[in-house]
Structure formats: C-alpha cells, structure tokens
Amino acid sequence: MNSVTSVDRQMWTSEDDKAVAISRALAADAVQKVGNGHPGTAMSLAPVAYTLFQRFLKHDPTEPAWLGRDRFVLSCGHSSLTLYIQLFLSGYGLSLDDLKAFRTAGSLTPAHPEYGHTKGVEITTGPLGSGIASAVGMAMAARYEKGLFDPESTTSLFDHNIWVIASDGDLQEGLSAEASSLAGTQALGNLKVIYDDNRISIEGDTHVSFTEDVSARYRAYDWNVIEVAALADGNVDRESLEAAMIKAESHHDAPTLIRLKSVIAWPAPKARGTSKSHGSALGVDEVAATKIELGLDPAESFIAPDEVVAHTRKVIERGQAARKAWELEFATWQSANPDRATLLQRLQKKELPLGWEKSLPVFSSEKEIATRAASGKVINEIASVLPEFWGGSADLGESNNTTIEEGHSFLPASSLMKDADPFGRIIHFGIREHAMGAILNGIALHGLTKAFGGTFLVFSDYMRGSVRLAALMDIPSTFVWTHDSVGVGEDGPTHQPIEHVASLRAIPNLAVVRPADANETAIAWREVITRQKPAGFILSRQNLPVLDRNVYASVEGVAKGAYILKDVDGTPDVLLIATGSEVQHAVGAQLILNEQGIKARVISAPCVEWFNEQSESYKEEVLPSGVRARVSVEAGIAQGWRELIGDAGVAVSLEHYGASAAAGILFKEYGFTAENVAAAALASIKKAGK
C-alpha cells in the first residue's frame, strides 16, 4: 500500500492507555447521567474503536466528507457511545457537553447514530444487521466508482476501506447473513468487519439461541476470517487485534471478519460479563469501582484531561497530512484524466448532464405495454446518458425489467460466471430482498452513484426495514416493485399484493409512484432521478393502454403527483381519482357517466406524496372542495384514500385476498371495471346529496 492509502501508526504509549481508560469511563458516566442506555459494549469496545480511529482509519476530522476517506459503520448502533466518544477525542466537533447530553432532546448524541445529524456519522444504525448489510453496499459502490474513475488501477486515489464493528445481535439477524453471503460472492476485499463476540444480549448468554460456529459460517461465505482471543483477565487483546487489523488491511481478495472475543463492561468489577450491563446504567457504586480499576479518580465524572485530548487530537494532523498527500496526487490525476475528472465533479455536486431527460422514450398509444416493461426501456435510456446509474433485482431481472442491456454483470474479476465484470452495471442481489434494500442504502450513502433494485411488490414486506431506513435517512434509494396487484393472475394470493401500496404510503418521506401508463412511467423516472429522494415504483405485470396525449392532458402532470387527466365543461359532478392500471377504468366510467348527463372529472394520481407537496391552490384546482362526490379507484385496500375522497366518497378497492385465476377474470369479479366505477360515482353523488 502506498503513502496515499496507508495510515502512519505511531508507537503505542501510556497516553494511549490513558485515552482508552477515559473512553471507558466516559461511556459509564454518560449512561449513568441520563439513567438509561447501553454502557457495557461501549466500555469493552473502547480499545477497539480507539485503535481504529487513531491508528487505522484513513480520515480527516476537519473534512468529514473527504472523498478519499475510509468509511466506518457502527452496526451495533445501540452502542452509539462507542462512536461518539471517538468523535469527541478525534476532534469532529463533539464536546464533553455533548456527551453529557447523551440521549436527551435536541442533543448531537442521540440514542442511536443518526446520519446527517452528527458529523462523522456515516449511516443511521440501530436495527441490528442493517449496518453491516449497508456496509456491503458501500464496498460495492467503492468498486463501481473505481470503474468510473480508474478502471486501469493506475492510482490508489479511489481505493479505501469500509470498516465495521458488529455485534452478536447483528450476526443473528438474517439480514446480515443475506448481505454477508453476497459480499463473499463479490469478493469485497475492501470490507473489514470486527465482530465483537461477547456472548451477551438482553436475555443473557447468547448460547440460549446462537450456537453455530460463526467463523466456519463466514469461511463458507468465502470470507477471510481471523480470530482474536481475549486476554486472561477478559480484557481485549489490543496488540493481537492490531496485528489482525494489519492483516485485514493487506487482504484484498475477500472481505475480512475479525472475530474478537471480549467481555462486556470490562473492567466493571460486578457488571462485567452480565446482561444487565448491556442495556442499563451500572449504578453509582459500580461506576466508581470501575474508575478505580481504570486508575481514575472515582469522585470525578466525565474525566477528559486536556493533555489526553491534545494527544488524541493529533489524529487531526495525521489526517490532514494524508488528505493533502491525496490531494496532490488527485491534482495529477485530474490533469491526466479531464473527462473523468469532469464526471467526478458533476457527481460530487449531485448535478445531472444538461438535457439528459431528452433521452427518455415517448411511447405510442397504438400499442399496449406493461408499466414494468416501459420502466425497463426507460432504465436503459437513462443508463445510456448517466454512467452513474446501475442496479438489478433480487433474482427477478427479466420479470422486473431491471436489466441494463450490455451492462455486464457486477462480479469480481475472479468470477467464472459469463459476462462477469468487476465494474459491471447489473447487480445480481440474489433472492435477498432485505439485503438488497440495505445494500441500496449503502450505495446511496457512499455518495456518487444512483442504484436501483427490484422485486415483486408482495415481497416489499421482506425489505420493509431497509425501505424505512432509506426514508428515515432521506437518501435517494430507488426501489422497483412490479406485479402490483391481482393482475398477477394465476400466481394467486401469495403473490398478489393487497395491503402493500397503502402500507408503503404509510412510511413518511417515501414517494410511492404508481403510474397509469408507459409515458407516466417515463416522467416518473425523470422525477425520481431529479428529486434525489427515496422512492418506490409500483408497476404492472399486465399490459396497459398508453393514453393518447392528444386526447388527454399532458403527461407532465405526473411531476405534481396528481393531475386532471380528462376534464369536463364547467364544475364536475363527481371526481374519479385513480392510480396505475385502474386509471383506464376511470376513463371508461367517465364515458358511461357522460351518456347519463353526469360530468365526471378523471384524475390520475401516480404519487400522492408529490401531490401533497403542491400548493393549496393547485390542490384545490384538481380537487375542488365544493365537489364532495368523489371516487377512488385502486386495486388494493382503501386505507389512506378517505383523506382525499371525504365522507361522501366511495372507494373502489379490494379488502380481501385474491385468488388464482386469470387477471381479467379477477378484475371483473372484484369490481375493477368501468361499469362498477360509474356505479360508485352514482352512489357517491347520492351520498353527497346532489
């Protein structure tokens, strides 16, 4: 490893020992002060985190977003003090007062690390397994970006590591198993995981439920596994750990798992090794006794001597020196690679090429097409102009239409699979929906590229935790969910989503997009790419009519979430609000009602969340408050529609599971026809008293 990527490790001194002792005491004090939290793991992991931040991690605390930095993921987010204390000691801007405010309202030190809230926090963690799974995404993103900027590997500028600290709980979650399996297949040599094997969780000894040989499991995943035993007194064997970390740094052909034996809450005399120390304050007497064990004054709280802080913050000088060396080499690279440098600059600014949207296809109304198929065509056109755009699906590429033609499979150079390319654009997630979502989050957090992942809508349940985290972090993860209704037909109720669209709309900050036809799909993709926010597409399996925009309103209305697709003269008698494949039935109902002298306005509502963002005047224009007769039409449960249709409204919905039969039969049997929508309109008009 050359000077740009290596970290200058000084000789370990007594000052470092003191800093580790203080880190342990600060963890105990912070939890004791607030009266709740997780002191034990932060205490035992203090030497681990300190060694990482001071001696291995390539970072500059004065430039937390430095492109060349390593990434650190605290997968066991409940042990947030493990991170906060090192951010304080390293000089990221956290103060001793911030540690004193741990887990209190408005503090920079919330219970779990929150992305975008505290400098130095790369990802929101807490739901176990999610951190390590997203770290896999970060490692994949780093390799893909290497392909964009240095595929010939002429420099180490774009080579960095993803370091993770994970717990027993993380490795018990199926999510971590899914992602770790894929990481081995991908031979992600830039992924380094330190597994804190302390054998304690809330219910006590983890062997009540977790007894497999984790090392053997990870070797079976094709990981490089290094085991580090604890010292005889139970303390972390820091020297052996450092030796293992050096080996991990030099191993580039596979991800590394360092299995570290530790004793939770070490060196607390009574609390060490107990489940109580996992999630409860130690108590005043035990905190004092622990400080005596550490050689600190038990009468003092939040000890942080100036000389110790000055010592730990020398990491700033080392980090700045590494960054400046990197910047010198970067300037040389820029001069030698002007086109790639221009691309990088654009991606760092989160800009799009001028006129990129002109590549989007326009679909003819002469031929029906499923919105999943239309989406596939749009994806390929976007890929032709945005090199940062890549993705795939959970083993459903041909069904989801998420394959980038000629994109090659994202697989390591060592792979024997056909079409393998370490910088390929097609991600094969395997049948791992939850991991796919977490990996997409990791890619988005890494910062430069735009990735998408697809599966059937009914399986969005499997990945909901990852989708929720994307929305919580407000990152541009893009989910493609196809086979959106009983239109799945003969596959039957196990594959027919009923409650899923409403359930996804219940996630705050997630745009749920269900386009009515191919052209709405194209504009929706444009909006998702432009907005750079978390979003999920809901797409049809079956072919749908492509609306003739010479007859119907401009498809540009999609950008506002809901728009008047087909209006009437004067004030409408009833509003027909539909999404996706049911818009065609609202259009048909309008014709039926027109023959009866009833004026029905048809509104396409592909994204309720975007519509809610619009001005009150626009919302009133589309849904005039004076028109109480309203009908919602969507092949799923009606939950959520009452807000738009009101007390006089009628929902044409599906409140039970489907059946195995042809799609056309099911739609007719369940009332998704123009005739039934027209009947619902008459019922709503009656309820409204007109």
Q: Please give the backbone phi and psi of residue 537, each rounded to the nearest 5 degrees, phi first.
A: -90, 140
The pLDDT of residue 10: 86
Q: Cα(221)–Cα(185) distance, rounded to whole angstroms?
A: 7
The domain made up of 14-321 is a member of CATH 3.40.50.970: yes
The pLDDT of residue 9: 84
pLDDT mean over 666-674: 98
Residue 416 has pLDDT above 50, yes or no: yes
pLDDT tens by residue, 510-535: 999 999 999 999 999 999 999 999 99
Q: Cα(592)–Cα(607) distance, rounded to whole angstroms?
A: 26
Residue 1 has pLDDT above 70, yes or no: no
Give residue 175's identity as a one-letter amino acid code.
Answer: L
Give exposure, 383-415, as e/b (b: 16+ Cβ within 10 Å). beebbbbbbbbbbbbeebbbbbeebebbbbeeb
| Average pLDDT over the chain, rounded to an integer | 97
Q: Output the CA torsion sign for 39, 265, 120, 253.
A: negative
CB 438 within 8 A of CB 469: yes
Distance spanning both ends of the chain, measured CA to CA: 79
Which sequence positions are flagged as catalytic? 433
The pLDDT > 70 percentage for the chain reads 99
Q: Cα(179)–Cα(177) distance, rounded to whole angstroms?
A: 5
For the chain, the domains span 14-321, 356-538, 559-688
Q: Please list the residues that pair with 511 across neighbouring strands.
A: 535
The pLDDT of residue 274: 96
Q: Cα(638)–Cα(526) distance, rounded to whole angstroms?
A: 28
The pLDDT of residue 6: 54
Fold of domain 356-538: Rossmann fold (3.40.50)
129 φ/ψ sector (left φ>0, alpha ψ -120 to 50, else beta): left
CB 228 within 8 A of CB 239: no
Which single residue is written with the structure tokens 């799923």?
636
Q: Which two tokens mark 5? A: 């990527």
Q: Name the residue among 224, 229, 227 with its Cα closest to residue 256.
A: 224
pLDDT mean over 157-181: 98
* Residue 494 CB burial class (10 angstroms; 0-12, 13-18, ≥19): exposed
Confidence of residue 5 (pLDDT cuts 50, 70, 90): very low
Q: Please give the backbone phi and psi of residue 662, each rounded to the nearest 5 degrees, phi first.
A: -60, 145
Residue 63 has pLDDT above 50, yes or no: yes
Same fold, 14-321 and 559-688: yes
Q: Name the residue among 529, 513, 510, 500 with its Cα closest to residue 468.
A: 510
Q: Which two tokens mark 498? A: 């009923």
pLDDT tens by residue, 14-58: 999 999 999 999 999 999 999 999 999 999 999 999 999 999 999
For domain 559-688, the CATH architecture is 3-Layer(aba) Sandwich (3.40)
pLDDT mean over 648-676: 98
The pLDDT of residue 3: 35
In the DSSP assignment, the letter for residue 635 is: S
Confidence of residue 4 (pLDDT cuts 50, 70, 90): very low
